[in-house]
A and B are shown apart, each in its own frame.
Chain A
Amino acid sequence: MKTISLSLLIISTALIISFSSCTEESCNQDTEVFMKAGFYSSETEEKISIDSLDIYGLNVPDSIICSMSTLNEVSLPLNPSSSSCTFAIVNGGRADTIEIFYKSSLEFLSLACGYRYLHELEEIYNTRNDIKDIFILNKSVNPGDEENVQIFF
C-alpha cells in the first residue's frame, strides 16, 4: 500500500502540473461579424455584378472597403459604438450613400476569443442616384452566410 501511495503521489503531482499547463488555447472563431449585402438588378431582380465599385465608410480616414472592384455582394462592418453608420457606394462615378440603423449587443465567444458584437438591423435609408431600392432580408447580423440586405441597381 505504501508503494501505491507513493505512485499516486507522483501521478497526482504530474496531473496537477499537466492540468495547470494545458489551459491555453487559441482562438479559431470569427470575432467580427459583417452585414452581407447582395447586388441585384431592379429590372430582372437577378443577382448582378457591379463593375468599378468603390465602397467606403463616411467620416473614416483611409477607409476604402473595396476599390475598382467587380462584385456581386459585399460584407460591410457595422460600427458597434454607434446606433447607425453610413457607407458610400460609388459605381462608375455615380455615388450613393446608405445609412444603416441597428442595435448592437455583446456576445461571449470563448476564453481564447473573448467577446464580439452582433447586430440587429432596424432601418436602412439610401440616396437614389444609382441605387434604386434596398430591402432588409434578414435583420440578424451574425456569423452565418445568409444575406442581410438586397441592393437593387
Chain B
Amino acid sequence: MRKMCKYFFSLSILLMPLLLDAQEADTVQASKSISVGFDLTGPVLYALDNSKYSLEGHLSYRLNYKYYLVCEPGYSDYSYEQYNYEYNSRGWFIRLGTDIGMLAPVASKINHYAGIGFRYGLSVFEQETPVINIRNYWGDINTSLSENTVHAHFLEIQGGIKTEVFRNFLIGWSVKLRTLVYSSGKDDRKAVYIPGYGPTGATFTPAVSYYIIYRFPFRDSSGE
C-alpha cells in the first residue's frame, strides 16, 4: 500500500502541469461522444502469467467536458495452485459509474482526460476448489469443494489519464482501489478471487488498467 501511495504521489506531480494550466482563455464546448475501448492489462498479465486471463471492455459516454458515464464489462478466468490446494474461478463482471474530468475546457485539452472515477461493480462467477490437501497428526486428508455460483458487489475509486494520440484515438491508464461490499460465498465457499475485482485477501485491492480507446464524436455536437 505504501508503494501505491508513492505511485499516486508521482502521478499527481505528473498531472500538475495539466491542471495548473486551467486558466487559459480559449474555453470551448466539448462534443458529446461515445468511446469504445479495451483494457490491455489483462492480455499483458496473461502473457506474463497464464494463470490469469481477463478481457475487459471500456464504454463511455461523454456528457460534457467534465462528466462521463462509464460501463466496463468483462470476463475473467483465474486459476491458482500451490502445495495444499488448487482453486479456479471464472465468470462475468460489469462495472458502472462515472468519470469526472479535471482538465480545463480549453482547445488544447478538450480531447484529453485526466480525472477521477467512481464505479459500482457486480460479478457473477463460478468457483471450485478441485484439490485440497491437509496434513495433520492423523495423516493426509484429500478433499475438494464442488463448483458453486457466487455473486459479489464492490465499489471502486480510480484516478487516471487518457490522451488523444491520433484523431479520436486515445491511450491512457488508471490506478484503482477496490473494496468488497458483499459476496454470497461464505466460510469454505468464500471467494478467493472475484472476476473484475481481484483477490479478496485485503480490505482494499489495488489494480491498474491500460486503455486503448476509439472515440466516436456525435456529428451534431459543436466544439471539436
List the interface of chain A (C-beta within 8 A of B): 1-2, 4-5, 7-9, 11-13, 15-20, 22-23, 25, 31-32, 57, 60, 63, 65, 77, 79-82, 85, 105-108, 110-112, 114-117
Contact = CB atoms under 8 A, between A and B. Distances in A.
Contacts of A111: 80, 192-193, 199, 201
Given A5-B171, A111-B199, A114-B84, A106 B187 contact: yes
A106 B188 contact: yes
Contact of A60 (B85, B137, B141): B137
B113 to A, nearest CB: 12
Contacts of B82: 112, 114
Interface in B147-186: 161, 163, 165, 171-173, 175
A26 to B, nearest CB: 11
A106 B132 contact: yes
16 contacts: A9-B171, A11-B11, A15-B173, A16-B41, A16-B45, A16-B208, A18-B3, A19-B208, A31-B134, A77-B138, A79-B136, A106-B188, A107-B187, A108-B192, A111-B199, A114-B132
A57 B163 contact: no
Contacts of A8: 14, 161, 163, 171-173
Contacts of A63: 137
Given A12-B208, A115-B85, A17 B48 contact: yes
A20 B198 CA distance: 12
B137 A108 contact: no
Contacts of B23: none
Contact of A80 (B141, B173, B192): B141
B208 A105 contact: no
Contacts of A17: 48
Contact of A7 (B14, B41, B136): B14
A53 B75 CA distance: 59
Interface residues of B, number: 47
Contacts of A79: 136-138
A14 to B, nearest CB: 9
Contact of A12 (B112, B132, B189, B210): B210
B93 to A, nearest CB: 18
A115 to B, nearest CB: 5
Interface in B1-29: 3, 7, 10-11, 14, 17-18
Contacts of A106: 132, 143, 145, 187-188
A116 B134 contact: yes
A13 B199 CA distance: 21
Contacts of A7: 14
A57 B138 contact: yes
Contacts of B161: 4, 8
Contact of A20 (B48, B173, B193): B48
